[in-house]
Amino acid sequence: MSGHRERNIFVQGPINAAFIGESIAKHATKTAIGGHGIFLGQVRADEIEGRKVAGIEYTAYEQMALERMTAIREDIFAKYPLTCMHVYHSLGRVEAGGICLLVFTSAAHRREAIDACSECVERIKAELPVWGRELFEGEGHQWKVNR
């Protein structure tokens, strides 16, 4: 039986900076928290073979991704003494410079929050069925390869 309910992590388009700020501000009342680990993934304007990336279009096998994220969440909570964890990933087009991934962990102590955040990001990149199609300026695209 799952210890955590499945949560929708997907948002259409970029993750708004105001939403990120509000998410952080909501934790001010949780006075048992001593540290947060926050990761913001941003779309880079890479140059690939002389073509510049204008944005990334994200797609996912959503139900499978949500099930996998629930399992990752359970693993992370079992390993680290977290107060909370929030994950949001973009779907659809995100222009270069836009935020496409937010992982936000909170704990009584900074080390646990930071370590949990880092592990969560790595597992999301390795395990979630989410794909990014890099869109070049002008026209053309290629499927993104995570490094």
* pLDDT score recorded for residue 140: 63
CATH, residue 68: 3.90.1170.40
Asked, for residue 25, whether it belongs to a domain, the answer is yes
pLDDT (tens digit per residue) in 43-67: 999 998 889 999 999 999 999 999 9
pTM exceeds 0.85: yes
Which residues, in sequence order, are CB contacts of 30 under 8 Å at separation 6+?
A: 83, 84, 106
Asked, for residue 62, whether it belongs to a domain, the answer is yes
Mean pLDDT of the chain: 92
Q: How many folded domains does the chain comprise?
A: 1
* pLDDT score recorded for residue 147: 60
pLDDT above 90: residue 138: no
Domain around 58? 10-143
Structure tokens at 122: 């790595």
Range in 50-54, 72-76, 79-83, 110-114 with the lowest mean pLDDT: 50-54
Instruction: Judge whether 95 and 43 are in contact, CB under 8 Å.
Output: yes
Asked, for residue 74, whether it belongs to a domain, the answer is yes
Asked, for residue 2, whether it belongs to a domain, the answer is no
Average pLDDT over residues 108-124: 98
